[in-house]
Structure 1
Amino acid sequence: MTDKTDGLQGGEKLNNPIKFMICYAGNMLNQHSQINKTRAILEDEKLCEYIVVVDNHMTPSARMADLLLPDVTTLENTEVSSDGYASGSMGAVVPLVPAIKPMYECRSAYNICTGLAERFGIKDQYTEGRTHEEWVEYLYAGARKKDPQLPTLEALRERGPYKVTAPEDTRVALADFNV
């Protein structure tokens, strides 16, 4: 890994082997042009000691994991989602309400991290006393402070997706790449 090829900061190249890597819901270990070289590095414990993957599918990245933690799907999770790359005129806020309870041993990323924080003795510091649902409510309330036109969380969940009105200074995502 170098500053030119990989955006490494603080030096021209990585001088030490990778000790620990975590890949969350992205299959990122398998998503670039030098996949065979990457696989060889990640399979060599002298070059990369430990890989944790959190995902809900058995992806190629998951196959490389030393520890695979089963994540919940959107059907099992409580969240609020937005399509952040869309232009403002196409933006929407979408409530994710669980259709089913998490199956088998799957846990949300929040619950996984809370369990780890508890084992490290910092659960209260990590959660700040909030459950997953309370964090969703707290963060959504912060979004409503910035945009008072957003419906309440209860109304969003009742009525479904909310189309965001484009501000006059609408930003086009990735505009620098448009030709």
Structure 2
Amino acid sequence: MKLTSDQPTEERATQLEVARRIALDQLAVRQRSSKELRDALAKRNVPEDVAEEILQRFTAVGLLDDAAFAQALTQSRCRNGMRGKARIRQELREKGVDRETAEEAVAQLAPEDEYEAALALARRRAVAMARLEPHVMRRRLAGQLARRGFSGSVVGSVIAVVTDADPVEFSTGEQ
């Protein structure tokens, strides 16, 4: 049953408490963006005005912070998820983080962190490709790294290290 803001105050207070509990339960599992929390409340039939009030309260006390969420997700995805800046930026946008906040979070990612993540991924994947021809291995590694969101310069450098190829040779596409 959906409640609206024009119902008696006692019912509204109850609805606010239910929404607060839902939001706290969601945040207890993992940090979330405002959009993710708004969607979770909507899924549980919390009225929009009640959900917005809860979101404003949580933002005011620091329980909900899209910038901190974006920063944490960026660091986590680079280190553990072995993803590049482009893929992280896309994931942040999918989770409802605004473009400017996503850009700021990704910009704070150190280039060496992105390089190390790409190198770790390439080394792990190269083991399974050890029997392939070198040019096939380079092509497949490049595709995998690109799909993970790593830039062309990072991909070229990493593949050069992993396959002992000349980075200039790789970047021009010669074999």
| TM-score band, normalised by shorter chain | under 0.3
Q: TM-score, normalised by structure 1?
A: 0.24
The structure whose residues are more often helix, as a share, is 2
The structure whose residues are more often strand, as a share, is 1
Max radius of gyration: which structure? 2
Q: TM-score, normalised by structure 2?
A: 0.25
